[in-house]
C-alpha cells in the first residue's frame, strides 16, 4: 500500500505568539497509518518558511491550520510550495506527484465558501480528526476527498493522545520558560462551549454541545506529560474548564489518589464558578484562573452575548481567588460595535479594581498597553513599568510624560511615528486621541527641524497619514450608533390610558428599560429616522405568554411594525396581516431569562422599501416591495408624532438592555 509523506504547518502573523501545535499532534496520532509513512511539523513562528516550503514541495499532503490573521501566511506558504514543485518538476525527467493541500481550523470553519475559492484540495470545517483521516486515506488510494459538512461530534475519549514528539513539545516548553520562568505544557480535557459570546468561534469548531473526557483519561495524559516532559505547570486549554462540576470533582479525586502535585491553571466562566468550587480547585492544585471579563460595562457584555453578571460579583470572585493564593488574569475585549467612551472608562475602572497580579508578566504587559492605547493615559501606564516591560514601552513612556517643547526634533519624530503605529492597534473610540498625539509630535518636529532632508519628508508623510486617518474617522462618525435608551424617559414617553392617566408599567432598570406584563404596553422612542437605517435591540423575556414584543418602524414615508412572539416573527403589511411568506418566519422559540439580539435594517428609496430582520445573527425576514403595501392605520399605537419609533410589549414582562440606531443614509431627528 502506498506510503504517505505529510507535512503539517502552523502559519504565523506579525507580532504573534504560538502555543503547542496540538492540532497537528491530534491529526497525526488519530489517522490511519502504514509502515513507511513520514510526518514532519513546522511552526512558522519558529521555523524558517523557506525550510518548511522545501520540505513540503516533495510531500504527498501539506496540512495547514489557520486563524484569520494567519490566513495570509497560509496562502503565501501554499504559493511558495506550489512554485517550488513546478520548478522541481521542470528539472527532473520523471513525473512528480503534486502535493495536496488541506486546510482547517478557525478561518476555514468560519468562512469555508471563501476559502474554497482559493483552490485548496480539501477544506475541513469543524472537528478535524475524522475528516483528515478520510482525506489522507483518499490520497493514499489515489482518490479525492474535498471535505464535507461539519462532522458529527466525536467521542473524544476514543481519541489517542496527541503526538507531542512530532510538534516539538520541548521547543514550546523552552519558549514558556523564557517568557514566564517555568516549563508549561497544555492539555485539552474537553471540547465545546454552551455560551453564545458573539465574538467567539468555539462553536464553529467544536459545536455548542460540551464533550468532556473521562477523569481517568485526563489524569493518564497528565501523568504521561509529567513523565516525558517534566513540566512545572499544566495549562488546561479548554474554552471553559469549569462547565461540569461533577466531572471536575471526579478528576480532583483521581488526582488526589495519584498524589498529583504539579500546579495547574484554566479558563473559567464567571457563571460556572463560586467560592466553594474555587476552594475545591485550589485544594486540587489550581494556582491560576483566567477569566473572560471582556468589558466593565454590563450593557456591552449583554450585547456580546455574555450572561447578566454584575461587576460586584466579578470583583468579589477575583478577591476570593486571591485570598486563597491564586493568581488571576482578566481578559478584556475592546472595540465592540456597541461600545462607547463611557463603556471604555467603566472597563478601565473594573480593570483597576481587579488589579492584575504584579508578578504576572503577561497581565502587566497587557495592562500597560490598555492604559496607553485604549485609555490614552501614559502616566498610569508608567506606574506599571518594570525592567521586564517591552523595550518599546520602556523607551517611549518616559518621553510621553515629558513636555513636547523639551524634546529634540528626533524624539518628536520618533514619538509621532510611535503613536501613529499604536493608533492602528486601537479600537475606533480610542483612535482619535492617539492620532492627535501623533500630529502634535510631528508638527513639533517640523518646527524644530527645518532642513529639507529625508527626516523632514518622513515627518510630512506621517503627518499626512495621521490627518487622513482622522478625516476618515470623522466621515465614519456620521454612521455611528445612537444609544436610544438614553433618550427615553418612561414618565414622559410611556403611552397614556384612555382616561388620561399615564402608564407606569415602563421603568428604567439596570441601565435598561423594563415593563410589567400588560396589554400592549407602549413607549415612544423620541427619534425619527429620515432615510435608511439599522436598529438593534437586545432583550429578554422574563415572563412570556401568548404575546411578545412589537417595534414600530418608519419606512420611507410610511410606517409599519414588527412583532416577535415565542415562535414567530411578522412584518405588518396592508390587508395581509403578515401572511405574505416573505414577511413572516418561524424561529426556534424564545427562552425565558435569556438575552436575544433583534436586528432590523430598513432601506428606503423613492417608493420602494426593503426590510430585513434577524434574530441572534440568523435572518428571519427579507421583504422588498412598494411603500404603499405598508399599513396606514396604526391608531392602536396612539403615537403623538407619526414619525417616531416605538416599542410595545404584550402580556409579557420584557427587559430591553440595548436599543440603538445607526443611519445608513439621511439623518436621525430628535423629537421633543
Q: pLDDT digits over 284-293, tens only?
A: 999 999 999 9
Class at the top of the CATH hierarchy for domain 482-670: mainly beta
Q: Who has greater pLDDT, 287 or 651?
A: 287
Q: Across-strand partners of 265?
A: 235, 288
270: DSSP letter: G
Mean pLDDT along residues 101-124: 93
Mean pLDDT along residues 485-498: 79
Task: Indicate whether 360 pLDDT > 80.
Answer: no
Q: Across-strand partners of 590?
A: none
pLDDT-above-90 percentage for the chain: 47
Domain ranges of the chain: 5-156, 169-357, 404-477, 482-670
Question: Among the listed ranges 254-263, 530-539, 642-651, which one has the minimum average pLDDT value?
Answer: 642-651
CATH code for the structural domain at 169-357 = 3.20.20.70
Mean pLDDT along residues 564-583: 72
pLDDT-above-70 percentage for the chain: 90
Which of these, 175, 168, 130, lies nearest to 43 by C-alpha position?
168
CATH code for the structural domain at 5-156 = 3.40.50.280
The reported pLDDT for the residue numbered 195 is: 87
Mean pLDDT along residues 132-148: 90
pLDDT 10s digits, 397-420 = 999 999 999 999 999 999 999 999
Using CA atoms, how far apart are residues 624 and 604, in angstroms rounded to an integer?
10
Q: Who has greater pLDDT, 162 or 520?
A: 162
pLDDT 10s digits, 192-202 = 888 888 888 88
Residue 158 — very low, low, confident or very high, per pLDDT cuts 50/70/90?
very high
Return the CA Rg of the chain. 29
Task: Indicate whether 580 pLDDT > 80.
Answer: no
Q: Who has greater pLDDT, 261 or 310?
A: 261
The reported pLDDT for the residue numbered 500 is: 47
Q: How far is CA 156 from CA 29, 189, 193, 402, 427, in A?
A: 13, 9, 15, 57, 38
The reported pLDDT for the residue numbered 578 is: 47
Using CA atoms, how far apart are residues 64 and 77, in angstroms rounded to an integer?
9
Contacts 24+ apart (CB under 8 A), 241-244: 241/189, 241/190, 241/266, 241/267, 241/268, 242/266, 242/268, 242/269, 242/272, 242/273, 242/277, 242/281, 243/190, 243/193, 243/194, 243/210, 243/212, 243/269, 243/272, 244/190, 244/210, 244/212
Q: Who has greater pLDDT, 627 or 302?
A: 302
Question: Among the listed ranges 129-133, 336-340, 515-519, 520-524, which one has the minimum average pLDDT value?
Answer: 515-519
> Is residue 514 within 8 Å of residue 655, measured between CB atoms?
yes
The reported pLDDT for the residue numbered 150 is: 62
Task: Indicate whether 268 pLDDT > 80.
Answer: yes
Q: What is the pairing mode between strands 568-571 and 558-565? A: antiparallel
667, with CB counted inside 10 A (0-12, 13-18, 19+), is: exposed
Mean pLDDT along residues 522-543: 86
The reported pLDDT for the residue numbered 96 is: 62
Question: Among the listed ranges 106-115, 341-350, 554-563, which one has the minimum average pLDDT value?
Answer: 554-563
Q: Who has greater pLDDT, 435 or 582?
A: 435
The reported pLDDT for the residue numbered 590 is: 77
Task: Indicate whether 129 pLDDT > 60.
Answer: yes
Torsion of CA 460, 466, 469, 470, to 10 degrees: -120
Q: Residue 605: phi, psi to the nearest 5? A: -145, 120
Q: Across-strand partners of 653?
A: 543
Torsion of CA 481, 477, 643, 555, to 10 degrees: -80
Q: Who has greater pLDDT, 496 or 176?
A: 176
Half-sphere exposure of 435 (CA within 13 A, CB side): 22
* Mean of the per-residue pLDDT values of the chain: 86
Q: Who has greater pLDDT, 504 or 395?
A: 395
Mean pLDDT along residues 499-514: 69
The reported pLDDT for the residue numbered 504 is: 58
The reported pLDDT for the residue numbered 94 is: 54
pLDDT 10s digits, 63-110 = 999 999 999 999 999 999 999 988 877 665 455 688 999 999 999 999
- Please say whether the dihedral angle defined by the alpha carbons of residues 114, 118, 123 and 127, taken in this order, is positive or negative: negative
Mean pLDDT along residues 592-607: 81
The reported pLDDT for the residue numbered 543 is: 61
The reported pLDDT for the residue numbered 216 is: 95
Mean pLDDT along residues 134-158: 85
Which range, 139-148, 202-211, 274-283, 379-388, is most confident?
274-283
Task: Indicate whether 651 pLDDT > 90.
Answer: no
Task: Indicate whether 576 pLDDT > 60.
Answer: no
Task: Indicate whether 577 pLDDT > 50.
Answer: no
Using CA atoms, how far apart are residues 488 and 396, in angstroms rounded to an integer?
45
Amino acid at each position: 500500500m502506498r506510503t504517505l509523506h505529510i507535512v503539517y504547518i502552523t502559519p504565523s502573523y506579525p507580532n504573534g505568539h504560538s502555543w503547542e501545535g496540538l492540532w497537528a499532534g491530534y491529526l497525526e496520532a488519530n489517522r490511519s497509518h502504514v509502515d513507511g509513512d513520514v510526518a514532519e511539523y513546522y511552526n512558522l513562528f519558529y521555523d524558517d518558511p523557506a525550510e518548511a516550503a522545501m520540505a513540503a514541495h516533495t510531500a504527498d499532503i501539506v496540512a495547514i491550520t489557520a486563524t484569520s490573521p494567519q490566513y495570509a501566511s497560509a496562502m503565501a506558504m501554499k504559493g511558495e510550495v506550489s512554485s517550488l514543485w513546478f520548478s522541481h518538476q521542470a528539472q527532473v525527467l520523471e513525473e512528480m506527484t503534486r502535493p495536496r493541500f488541506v486546510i482547517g481550523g478557525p478561518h476555514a470553519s468560519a468562512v469555508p465558501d471563501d476559502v474554497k475559492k482559493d483552490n485548496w484540495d480539501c477544506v475541513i470545517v469543524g472537528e478535524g480528526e475524522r475528516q483528515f483521516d478520510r482525506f489522507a486515506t483518499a490520497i493514499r488510494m489515489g482518490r479525492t476527498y474535498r471535505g464535507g459538512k461539519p462532522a458529527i461530534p466525536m467521542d473524544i475519549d476514543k481519541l489517542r493522545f496527541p503526538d507531542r514528539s512530532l510538534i516539538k513539545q520541548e521547543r514550546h516548553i523552552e519558549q514558556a520558560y523564557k517568557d514566564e520562568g517555568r516549563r508549561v505544557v497544555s492539555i485539552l480535557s474537553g471540547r465545546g462551549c454552551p455560551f453564545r459570546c458573539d465574538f467567539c468561534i468555539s462553536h464553529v469548531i467544536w459545536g455548542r454541545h460540551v464533550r468532556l473526557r473521562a477523569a481517568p483519561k485526563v489524569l493518564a495524559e497528565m501523568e504521561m506529560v509529567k513523565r516525558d516532559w517534566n513540566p512545572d505547570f499544566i495549562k488546561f486549554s479548554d474554552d471553559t474548564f469549569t462547565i461540569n462540576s461533577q466531572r471536575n470533582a471526579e478528576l480532583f479525586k483521581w488526582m488526589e489518589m495519584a498524589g498529583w502535585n504539579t500546579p495547574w491553571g484554566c479558563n473559567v466562566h464567571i457563571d460556572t464558578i463560586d467560592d466553594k468550587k474555587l476552594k475545591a480547585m485550589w485544594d486540587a492544585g489550581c494556582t491560576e484562573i483566567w477569566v473572560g471579563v471582556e468589558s466593565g460595562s454590563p450593557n456591552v457584555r449583554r450585547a456580546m452575548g455574555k450572561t447578566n453578571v454584575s461587576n460586584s460579583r466579578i470583583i468579589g470572585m477575583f478577591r476570593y481567588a486571591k485570598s486563597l493564593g491564586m493568581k488571576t488574569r482578566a481578559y478584556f475585549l475592546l472595540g465592540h460595535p456597541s461600545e462607547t467612551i463611557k463603556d471604555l472608562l467603566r472597563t478601565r475602572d473594573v480593570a483597576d479594581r481587579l488589579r492584575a497580579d504584579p508578578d504576572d508578566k503577561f497581565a502587566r504587559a497587557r495592562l500597560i498597553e490598555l492604559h496607553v492605547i485604549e485609555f490614552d493615559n501614559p502616566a498610569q501606564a508608567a506606574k506599571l513599568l518594570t525592567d521586564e516591560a517591552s523595550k518599546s514601552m520602556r523607551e517611549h513612556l518616559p518621553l510621553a510624560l515629558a513636555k513636547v517643547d523639551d524634546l529634540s526634533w528626533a524624539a518628536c519624530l520618533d514619538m509621532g511615528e510611535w503613536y501613529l503605529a499604536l493608533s492602528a492597534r486601537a479600537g475606533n473610540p480610542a483612535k482619535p486621541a492617539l492620532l492627535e498625539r501623533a500630529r502634535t509630535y510631528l508638527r513639533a518636529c517640523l518646527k524644530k527641524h527645518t532642513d529639507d532632508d529625508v527626516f523632514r519628508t518622513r515627518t510630512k508623510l506621517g503627518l499626512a497619514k495621521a490627518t487622513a486617518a482622522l478625516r476618515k474617522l470623522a466621515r465614519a462618525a456620521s454612521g455611528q450608533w445612537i444609544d436610544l435608551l438614553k433618550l427615553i424617559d418612561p414618565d414622559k414617553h410611556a403611552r397614556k390610558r384612555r382616561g388620561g392617566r399615564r402608564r407606569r408599567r415602563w421603568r428604567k432598570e439596570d441601565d435598561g428599560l423594563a415593563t410589567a406584563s400588560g396589554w400592549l404596553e407602549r413607549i415612544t422612542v423620541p427619534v425619527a429616522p429620515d432615510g435608511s437605517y439599522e436598529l438593534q435591540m437586545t432583550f429578554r423575556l422574563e415572563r412570556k405568554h401568548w404575546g411578545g414584543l412589537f417595534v414600530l418602524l418608519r419606512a420611507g414615508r410610511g410606517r409599519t411594525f414588527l412583532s416577535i412572539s415565542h415562535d414567530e416573527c411578522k412584518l405588518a403589511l396592508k390587508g395581509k396581516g403578515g401572511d405574505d411568506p416573505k414577511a413572516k418566519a418561524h424561529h426556534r422559540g424564545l427562552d425565558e431569562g435569556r438575552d436575544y439580539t433583534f436586528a432590523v435594517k430598513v432601506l428606503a428609496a423613492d417608493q420602494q422599501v426593503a426590510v430585513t430582520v434577524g434574530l441572534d445573527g440568523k435572518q428571519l425576514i427579507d421583504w422588498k416591495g412598494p411603500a404603499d403595501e405598508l399599513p396606514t392605520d396604526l391608531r392602536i399605537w396612539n403615537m403623538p408624532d407619526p414619525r417616531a419609533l416605538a416599542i410595545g410589549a404584550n402580556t409579557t414582562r420584557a427587559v430591553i438592555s440595548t436599543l440603538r440606531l445607526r443611519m445608513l443614509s439621511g439623518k436621525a431627528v430628535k423629537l421633543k
